[in-house]
Amino acid sequence: MAAAALEQSKETIASRVVDALRDDIITMALKPGDVISESDIAGRYGVSRQPVREAFIRLAQQGLLLIRPKRATVVKKISPVGVRQSRFIRESIEVEIIRRVAGQPSDDAADVLARLIADQEAASDANDSRRFHTLDELFHRTLARLAGVEYAWQLIDDHKMQLDRVRYLTLGVSSTQRAIAEHKLIVEAVAKADPAAAETAMRAHLARAELLLNQTITDFPDYFE
Amino acid sequence: MAAAALEQSKETIASRVVDALRDDIITMALKPGDVISESDIAGRYGVSRQPVREAFIRLAQQGLLLIRPKRATVVKKISPVGVRQSRFIRESIEVEIIRRVAGQPSDDAADVLARLIADQEAASDANDSRRFHTLDELFHRTLARLAGVEYAWQLIDDHKMQLDRVRYLTLGVSSTQRAIAEHKLIVEAVAKADPAAAETAMRAHLARAELLLNQTITDFPDYFE
DNA sequence: TCCAGCGCCCTTCCATACAAGAAGGGCATT
DNA sequence: AATGCCCTTCTTGTATGGAAGGGCGCTGGA
């Protein structure tokens, strides 16, 4: 794991440590089950234990770390049950969002979404799966904005980190072509102002995460509870 | 505000402070906009600044406090937009839950729910609005359990704190009779295994929170952004 | 060979001291 | 009288030392 010096630009040391650790966890530089300690991380980044401790608290609340008092702090293993329930939450909210958007589509909704899909195709052609992932996220976030509940997306974002770890393990595996086709189906339904079709398309799209999860559990059993 | 000594039973000092402060905030002993400081609370409870500081961090992440670096820490005012979006999230999830429960009702589902409603009627007759509120929460939580997504309720619970502050301001005002009637409608739909009717009933039930919010904003404008 | 007890080492937790920034009031200058 | 500067006094942020407790291995006995 890269003991890179923290970027000196941010506000407090504690928040820099939070960002650095979260990135390490999501990118699997810190693996589920890894044991870390305050003094360990403190020494690695050349800061005192106090800001590291506060970073641990924040990340523990986000479900990425597990602080076992007087014992140790470990990178939380991924809970299949938790991931499935996160997916349930996401599906509930995104279905409600797509119903709203398709029910009362704004004038430029379809245009904006179509443009995003075009970008995704470009990223797919360039085999840039990292960028594709970013655009995929932006697509869903844009839907939330169009429904007037962008704040709700922040919630999904928080609880999506678990699934993001799974996704990172399978970067390049997932079929971008298929995801794009599904996005197109969703946008078509929005253009036709057909909420029922939009809901069906969205559920089908999100259902693929279940397959991804099952595949990953068999590939990396040690990372799961 | 009562400077009661923290209950000595819990785990760490920090977690005790968290519980005490959260309770003070939700019950409006600490009002939105109130300025507090680490040393202030530390002196009040007879502990050092450190655990108080960690409690502040946790509560800030839950959206109850706002830490303004080097300046002060204030009890967050209630954001109407935030409350509405929390309600959107809750409605999305609870609708999905009730659809599941009504779609594939377990044998004893209706029985369990009917028993809860009976308790609510007892609490209502006794004018025990505090207990009624607890039972109301248990009703919804039970639905989540029946749908197999109890974890999802924890999420709602976190984001419900804002609305709980609103609710506390209007304790006794809300019509318990009406809420009970709505609960009965929901259970009837579940008993009939009619997801569409259950969804309609649930949406109607949750829609009342909007009225509560608007009423409270006009009654206590200082507590809102 | 097995097992119980003890002690070392590691962890997180708490207390205290110091540093750095922000804000407001008083004072001097214009 | 008005305005700009400084200084005092808050606040939160960071560093460090010790306290409390759990885990694990060694050691002594049976």
pLDDT tier for residue B141 given thresholds of 50, 70 and 90: very high
Is the Cβ pair A89, B152 closer than 8 Å?
yes
Per-residue pLDDT of A179-216, as tens digits, reads 999 999 999 999 999 999 999 999 999 998 888 889 89
Q: How confident is the model at residue A176 (pLDDT cuts 50, 70, 90)?
A: confident
Residue A206 CB partners (closer than 8 Å, separation 6+): A87, A90, A91, A94
| Chain A interface disruption, residue of B15, B38, B85, B203, most A CBs within 10 A | B85
pLDDT averaged over chain A? 90
Measured between beta carbons, which residues in chain B are less than 8 angstroms from residue A93?
88-89, 92-93
Residue whose C-alpha is closest to residue A199's, from A101, A128, A84: A101
Q: Give the CA A71 to C1' C6 distance in Å.
A: 20
Question: Is pLDDT larger for residue A163 or for residue A48?
Answer: A48
**pLDDT recorded at residue B1:** 47
* Cα B153 to Cα B148: distance, rounded to the nearest angstrom: 10
Could you tell me which chain B residue has the CA closest to the CA of A151? B85
Distance from CA of B217 to the nearest CA of A (A): 20
> What is the pLDDT at residue B151?
85
Nucleotide nearest to B35 (CA to C1'): D11
**Which residues 57-76 on chain B approach chain A with CB closer than 8 angstroms?**
57-58, 61-62, 69
The arrangement of secondary structure in B13-75, i.e. its CATH architecture, is: Orthogonal Bundle (1.10)
Region A95-117: mean pLDDT is 91
With contact defined as beta carbons under 8 Å apart, do B139 and A72 qualify? Answer: no
Return d(Cα A139, Cα A154) in angstroms, integer. 14
Neighbour-count burial for B54-70, b at 16+ CB within 10 Å, e otherwise: bbbbbbebbbbbebeee
Handedness of CA A93, A148, A182, A161 (dihedral sign): negative
Band of residue A6 on the pLDDT scale cut at 50, 70, 90: low
For residue A72, give the H/E element and its range: strand A72-75
Q: What is the 8-class DSSP label of residue B76?
A: P
What is the arithmetic mean of pLDDT over B37-65? 96
Any idea where the domains of chain B sit in the sequence? 13-75, 80-223
Interface test with A, best of B11, B98, B99, B151 (most A CBs within 10 A): B151
Closest to B54 (Cα-Cα) out of A38, A133, A26, A20: A38
CA atoms within 13 A on the CB side of A175: 9
Tell me which H or E stretch contains A65: strand A65-68
CATH of A80-223, one of 3.90.1150.10, 3.40.50.1820, 2.60.40.10, 1.20.120.530: 1.20.120.530
A53 touches strand C (CB under 7 A): yes
Angle between helix A13-26 and helix A150-169 axes, rounded to 10 deg:
50
Of B5-9, B77-81, B169-173, minimum mean pLDDT range:
B5-9
Q: Distance (Å, rounded) from C-alpha B171 to C-alpha B129? A: 7
CB proximity under 8 Å: A 169-208 to B: none
The pLDDT of residue A189: 94
Q: Which of A171-175, B5-9, B36-40, B42-46 has the lowest mean pLDDT?
A: B5-9
